[in-house]
Amino acid sequence: MALIKCPECGKEISEYAIQCGYCFYPLKAKSVDAPAPVPKVSRIRNGKPSRNGNGAGSITHVKGNLRKPFRVTVTTGWKYDTEKGRVKQIRKNIGYYETRELAENALANYRQNPYDIDASKITFAEIFDKWSAEHFPTISQSNIHGYNAAYKLCTDIQDMLFADIRLSHLQGVVDDCGKNYPTLRKLRVLFNVLYGYAMKNDVCAKDYSEFVDIDRYKDRNPDKYDRTIFNDTEIKKLWKVADTDEYLQFPLILIYTGLRVGELWNLKSSDVNFEGRYFEVTKSKTPAGVRTVPIAEKIAPYFEHWLSKGTEYVFTNRQGNQFKDRNFRDSYWQPTMDLLNLEHKPHDTRHTCVSLLTAAGVDDKIIRKIVGHAGKTVTETVYTHLEIDMLIEAINKI
């Protein structure tokens, strides 16, 4: 016996095969002058064949008290056994299923669109890593930030096998993340490109991303500038409780620095010049966000307190670790808002800072420097000691 190539897909198969085990192409002529093995006739039990045809895969019931006892196995290739002098199949398991019906559906899906069994074990996170390694070198840094931000929203499915992900999982990410419409569009684009990559590499057979619905969130758009600022009464509430718990200080720290919450988490002790009353933001959402920020006298005691802990990051959670987005919002920010009966998001503090500086008559150019808004020229990014003193003087006006 020997191996021959299938005229349809070109893969090696047995010379006696009546159809290709990969693409199921019917072999009308034998490649050698020897009689082909007569295929066994499947016995009919309860109206169904007890076994599938040669090369069509098999379903077996595994003995024992198993939750998924039905094993689906398919032929993925052929090899010559030198000891026995014959060609034998290379078989792999597709998976295990709770019922025979589910097993039959899985086998039928595989027959309709055969895929790489090993590739089907790749997770969502691994697909993202493989795709980004190829794609990121070809796109801008801003697009890379956008894709990475969208990927961070997918924590619930990152460890799932990509082949097991369904529309309900993707839609769940969209529905639960609470992001605005432009962010959801980027998230859907991420789904689209990952499914395109996965299908190209035979990881899955169906693109569920095309069915993801984000239209219901069209009105959720930050460009409408519907954010609310903290008023004077609310700021007084914050001051009253700030000294009772160090974690109640964050709204005031954000208001009197104009920091984004991510900039707060990433601030390292080494970036702070407490004696000079300023710190450096070295990692930000935008290039304009990399800046020098003054420390207002009103919140200087808070900085001194947190710096005395000697941690790598100035502001840390109760375990002494760097904050994560969901952890900060759910375990620190929202409890503070509930305690004071306030309804604000963390980003409202940034708008409050700009509003207070404007009301205090601070020049727009100085405001942009403090909060890191775009529009600065190259020369404006070079800070002198005089300019830092001006920033400190400005922030102390609010």
Angle between helices 124-135 and 181-200 (to 10 degrees): 90
Say yes or no: 242 and 386 in one domain.
yes
CB 293 within 8 A of CB 300: no
Say yes or no: 255 and 387 in one domain.
yes
Pick the last residue of a domain from 202, 224, 246: 224
Mean pLDDT of 257-275: 93
What mean pLDDT value characterizes the chain? 82
User: Is pLDDT above 50 for 33?
Assistant: no
pLDDT of 115 reads 55
Say yes or no: 65 and 138 in one domain.
no
Mean pLDDT of 356-373: 90
Q: In what order do the strands lie in the sheet with 291-294?
A: 272-273, 278-281, 291-294
User: Is pLDDT above 70 for 100?
Assistant: yes
Mean pLDDT of 215-237: 77
Mean pLDDT of 199-227: 77
pLDDT of 220 reads 64
pLDDT of 306 reads 96
pLDDT of 193 reads 95
Say yes or no: 236 and 384 in one domain.
yes
Q: Which residue has the tokens 């595989």?
A: 110
Say yes or no: 346 and 322 in one domain.
yes
The CA distance from 199 to 45, in Å, is: 37
Q: How confident is the model at residue 381 (pLDDT cuts 50, 70, 90)?
A: very low
Domain count, the chain: 3
CB-neighbour burial class of residue 76 (10 A; exposed 0-12, middle 13-18, buried 19+): middle
Say yes or no: 187 and 317 in one domain.
no
pLDDT of 51 reads 58
Q: How confident is the model at residue 276 (pLDDT cuts 50, 70, 90)?
A: very high
Is residue 119 a part of any domain in this protein? no
User: Is pLDDT above 50 for 378?
Assistant: no
pLDDT in tens, 118-157: 666 789 999 999 899 888 888 888 788 889 999 999 998 9
User: Is pLDDT above 60 for 235?
Assistant: yes
Q: Which amino acid appears at position 45 of this protein?
A: R
Say which CATH number the domain at 154 has.
Answer: 1.10.150.130
Q: Which H or E run includes 186?
A: helix 181-200
User: Is pLDDT above 90 for 10?
Assistant: no
> Is the entire prediction scored with pTM above 0.95?
no
The CA distance from 254 to 260, in Å, is: 7
Higher pLDDT: 252 or 86? It is 252
Say yes or no: 57 and 138 in one domain.
no
Could you tell me which residues come within 8 angstroms of residue 128 by beta carbon, excluding any fewer than 6 positions away? 151, 158, 194
> Containing domain of residue 325, as a range?
232-395
Is residue 281 a part of any domain in this protein? yes
CB 318 within 8 A of CB 333: no
Say yes or no: 200 and 68 in one domain.
no
Say yes or no: 107 and 150 in one domain.
no
Pick the last residue of a domain from 114, 137, 168: 114
